[in-house]
Amino acid sequence: MRSPGDILLVSTYELGHAPHGVALPKAFLERAGFAPAALDLAVEPLDPARVRRARLVALSVPMHTALVLGLKAAARIRALAPGAVLCFHGVYAPLNADLLVAAGAAAVLGGESDEELVLLARAIEQGAPLDRFVERGGAAALRRRLDYPVPSREGLPPPERYARLAGADGALRLAGYTEASRGCKHRCRHCPLPAVYDGRFFAVPVEAVVEDVARQVAQGVEHVTFGDPDFLNGPAHALRVARAIHARFPALTFDFTAKVEHLLGAPAALRELAGHGALFVTSAVESFSDEVLARLAKGHTRADALAAFELAAASGVPLRPSLLPFTPWATLDDYLELLDLLEARGWMQNLDPVQLSIRLLVPPGSLLEGEPSIPFDGLDAAGLTWRWRHPDPRMDSLQARVAAEVAAGSTSGEPPLATVARVKALALATAGRPHGHVRVLAPDQRRVPRLTESWFC
């Protein structure tokens, strides 16, 4: 197990950035004396030689899309290397343990599982039983602080292969990725993290984060995404990290994710982050319907979301929202009001069009599983989610059509506002109302920086 390539770490999808779900466990394994190889199927073809060489293949599944793609990859891996031990690890692994074991996995790890992956490699090396390495359900996932090493990105594709920063001036810059914390202290009901972390989060040492960034800057990176589920779960830690990185790399910019309530609760921190290079913040606004927000246990209201947009803009860190417009509780009027509000307030340019198409996902193990107000329609095993139908059939039809329009716009490379205009026309037609239009940017209105791959799970 100690020869190069005896262990193969595989990623399928991580939102367009270099996979942290490979880089961090790779560092843990290397520190323990192993020599893992890496493969990112988001930007590389599946390499039969690397697969056949491996005795342990570990697939990272930090999100739903990664798991769907990971199951497809696992079938090919099993055919190429039937004798290799197959492991799935990441947030979505323990929530789907039985399915993964049925797909050939001998190990299923979640939460802070990097040390468990090291122990798995040692168990294979020693010929020990592997039964203990299957964690079934979020409650079985490990929730403990680890001794985090600097992520190891050697062997992964260079930054040029991943999403870039599109600045306010339209220029594209190399973008990197790091994490200053793990887990989340909140329990939003639609998010998989609470099922696994149960309100726990763990800070990564400042020195490890800075060194991770330094190695990426040496590769030409000019912007970094902090991929923490919520960068402001620990605001004092976040500020220490930002200060340290800015002191070492004054020209480096960054973006981060934070809850609405954290933004409103830390206006001084937001202003300081802007001074250290923050270009924008992603926030899970999800909806402007108070009923929907309450059902999701988001911890904020419509008024809070509006205030967060204004505060972020005033602080110089524009808010780019993630949205969940299609839920069982959202109405067609809610959808039209969402479009009208974003347009009237000049926030359309803050938006990735894909956010207008997102439908509530209820995977096995979700805190929403069995929710009586959701009209469930059985388990979609292939889609790894519980099916549900909207009480208003027009909403399900509209969602499918919006998703198709967004995909077409992304494929053709059309300007985002052109896609949004077509989405708005669809929504108005569904409601039987005359078509409207989407305002273009005013001549003096700056574009909001963004990454070239849209943020969604």
Query: Per-residue DSSP letters for 66-135?
Result: HHHHHHHHHHHHHHH-TTSEEEEESTHHHHTHHHHHHTT-SEEE-BS-HHHHHHHHHHHHHT---GGGB-
- pLDDT classification of 447: cutoffs 50, 70, 90: confident
**Quick one: how far is CA 61 from the chain centroid?**
11
Question: What is 185-247 written as a DSSP string?
Answer: S---TT-SHHHHHTT-EEEPPHHHHHHHHHHHHTTT--EEEE--S-GGGSHHHHHHHHHHHHH
CA distance 181 to 231: 7
| Poorest-pLDDT segment among 44-48, 161-165, 204-208, 362-366 | 362-366
Question: Which residue type, as a one-letter code, is found at position 422?
Answer: R
Contact by Cβ (8 Å): 92, 192: yes
Cα end-to-end span (Å), the chain: 33
What's the rounded Cα separation, in Å, for the pair 132 and 119? 11
At 445, the pLDDT band (50, 70, 90 cuts) reads: low
Give mean pLDDT, residues 137-164: 96
Cβ 190 vs Cβ 366: under 8 Å: yes
pLDDT of residue 150: 98
Report pLDDT digits (tens) over 74-127.
999 999 999 999 999 999 999 999 999 999 999 999 999 999 999 999 999 999
Query: What does the pLDDT look like over 388-441, one tens digit per residue?
Result: 999 999 999 999 999 999 999 999 989 888 999 999 999 999 999 987 677 665
165-223 pLDDT tens trace:
999 998 999 999 999 999 999 999 999 999 999 999 999 999 999 999 999 999 999 99
- Environment class of 417 (CB within 10 Å of its CB; exposed 0-12, middle 13-18, buried 19+): middle
3-state secondary structure of 406: helix
If phi over 0 gives left and psi between -120 and 50 gives alpha, with beta otherwise, what is residue 18? beta
- Rounded-to-integer distance, Cα 267 and Cα 311, Å: 7
Per-residue confidence (pLDDT) for residue 455, from 0 to 100? 62
Is the model more confident about 159 or about 383? Answer: 159
Residue with the larger pLDDT of the pair 15 and 439: 15
Q: Cα 57 from chain centroid?
A: 23
Q: What is the pLDDT of residues 307-338, one digit of tens each?
A: 999 999 999 999 999 999 999 999 999 999 99
pTM of the model: 0.95
Residue-wise pLDDT for 371-395, tens only, equals 999 999 999 988 899 999 999 999 9
Residue 443 confidence (pLDDT) above 70: no
Which pLDDT score is estimated for 435? Answer: 73
Q: Which residue has the tokens 């039964």?
A: 131
**Residue 134: CA count within 13 A, CB half-sphere:** 16
Q: Which of 345, 351, 299, 342 is nearest to 320 (CA)?
A: 351
Position 130 scores a pLDDT of: 97
Rounded (5°) CA angle 126-131-134: 120
Chain mean pLDDT for the chain: 95
